[in-house]
Structure 1
Amino acid sequence: MTSRPAFSDPDALARLPYFQEVPAAVLARVQQQARLLSVRRDEIIAHRGEPCLGMHIVVQGRVKLCYEAASGLERIMRIVSPGDSFGEALMCLGREYIASAEALCDSQLVYIPKDIILAQMAESAPLAQRLVASLSRQLYMMMGDMGAYTVRNGHQRLIGYLLRESGSHQDIPVRLTVPKGVIASRLNLTPQHFSRILHDLIQRRLIQVQGREFTILDLQGLLDYRDQQAL
């Protein structure tokens, strides 16, 4: 992992969604302390149990937040995409990372230390609102995941994922941005169960899969099959 001052361009930080409408003076102070991290695929950005002393914003690439059980099995809690962030809640609480953060591909992130971000939140209502909105969105997604894992079966979870990734569009190939094993873990499915469901959907001619690309062949049929699983 390499680290350097985040931006030589004074307007670059303002272009990140997190800092839109934040006053220039606040941006300048944050930029002085922010660091740009370049990480390779499979590189660990933060280890579970380490103190969380700041927040990360993904600029390019993707990061998985994962928990490894004593048995060695890995459970992916969240996939962080460009524009999204992680670490805010733990940073504010002064707690350790409860999951490790690992790059799914070569990625760039902005790291902002706790002291500077908390101090500038007191100076900028838009910045404080961005942090609250980010935490609220993460909580909303977590509650949605908990509901999916408790009341939806594997077919429903995978179909829901495919619908989200495709925008519910038929006959348009969609490239998966992460490996299938990562998707399986994110959906709380074993790789074997994931493969069986995928094969079932292919056999029913509801979807087509070629490598990392999938295409919904029969959108209404896929929706109907998802609803049948709830009966």
Structure 2
Amino acid sequence: MHSHQHGMNIEALLAHVPLFNELEKDEISRLARGSREISVARGDILFHKGDTPTGFYLLVYGQVKLAFTSPQGGEKVVDIVAQGQTFGEAVMFMDKPFVVYAQALADSVLLHISKAAIIDELDKEPKLGRKMIAGLAMRLHHLISDVESYSLRSGRQRVIGYLLRDTPTDRAPQVTVTLPTNKGVIASRLNLTQEHFSRILHELSEKGLIVVEGRNIHIQDVNRIRAYDR
């Protein structure tokens, strides 16, 4: 893992982040001065559970998983971060150590935005504070949905919900979903063992609801799969 400062391209990257799109040029420049670019190879650990945050992260490209290890040594994936997303803000504000570790699932480039820089901007620009609160509230909402899903929905319902998560209801009945990462990571994200996840995919294939082709899952009929397991 190495980090370096570029100046110009950091400003350009920050300007493209939805979170910062209402900031003026000079505000972006100040944030850029408090940011550094980090390149990581697949498998690299960005931070460990228990590390003290000095800022938060923006994933420019690549993919990162947030996870923790159970006392038995198993892994629980809490989130799979996609490009353009930020993470680590909540712990940074709380002055608490990270409760998860972050590991690159692919070669990735990130920006680390220092706490001091973001706090300065929050003091100057109330809109930024509102946007950060909205982002954190959204994440809290997702976490609550996850807990509800683990508690109240069967494994099959969780898998179907995951496959259909980005599919609008008015779309063509056939749709192809590409799994963002390997099945083990997704299974853990859904609170399932990898075997259980594979079994459910197999069952959905047997029923003619999906065709699995590597990471591509072809859904034959969105409405049929939605109605299955009601």
TM-score scaled by length of structure 1: 0.94
Mapping 1:132-151, distance limit 5 Å: 132-151=133-152
Aligned partner of residue 124 in structure 2, secondary structure: coil
2:223 counterpart letter in structure 1 = Q
Query: 1:6 Cα shift?
Result: 5.0
**Corresponding residue number in structure 1 for 2:3:** 3
Q: Does 1:218 align with 2:218?
A: no
**Corresponding residue number in structure 2 for 1:172:** 175
Q: Do the aligned residues in 2 keep the contact of 1:159 with 1:226 (CA within 8 Å)?
A: no
Query: 1:73 Cα shift?
Result: 0.3
Aligned partner of residue 97 in structure 1, secondary structure: coil
Give unpaired runs (5+ residues) of structure 2.
none
Specify which of 174, 189, 193 is matched with residue 192 of structure 2: 189
- Rounded Cα–Cα distance in structure 2 between residues aligned with 1:184 and 1:206: 19
Runs of 4+ in 1 over 6 A off after TM superposition: none
Q: Does 1:12 align with 2:13?
A: yes
Query: 1:171 Cα shift?
Result: 2.6
Q: Do the aligned residues in 2 keep the contact of 1:6 with 1:31 (CA within 8 Å)?
A: no
TM-score scaled by length of structure 2: 0.94
- Rounded Cα–Cα distance in structure 1 between residues aligned with 2:195 and 2:79: 21
Query: 1:37 Cα shift?
Result: 0.8
**Corresponding residue number in structure 2 for 1:163:** 164
**Corresponding residue number in structure 2 for 1:22:** 23
The aligned length equals 227
Query: 1:166 Cα shift?
Result: 4.6
2:116 counterpart letter in structure 1 = D
2:79 counterpart letter in structure 1 = R
Q: Do the aligned residues in 1 keep the contact of 2:210 with 2:219 (CA within 8 Å)?
A: yes
1:147 counterpart letter in structure 2 = E
Aligned partner of residue 174 in structure 1, secondary structure: strand
Deviates more, 1:122-131 or 1:32-41: 122-131
How far does the alpha carbon of each residue in 1:201-224 deviate from its partner, in whole angstroms, 9 at most, with x for none? 000000110111111012222111
Query: 1:226 Cα shift?
Result: 3.1
Query: 1:151 Cα shift?
Result: 0.6
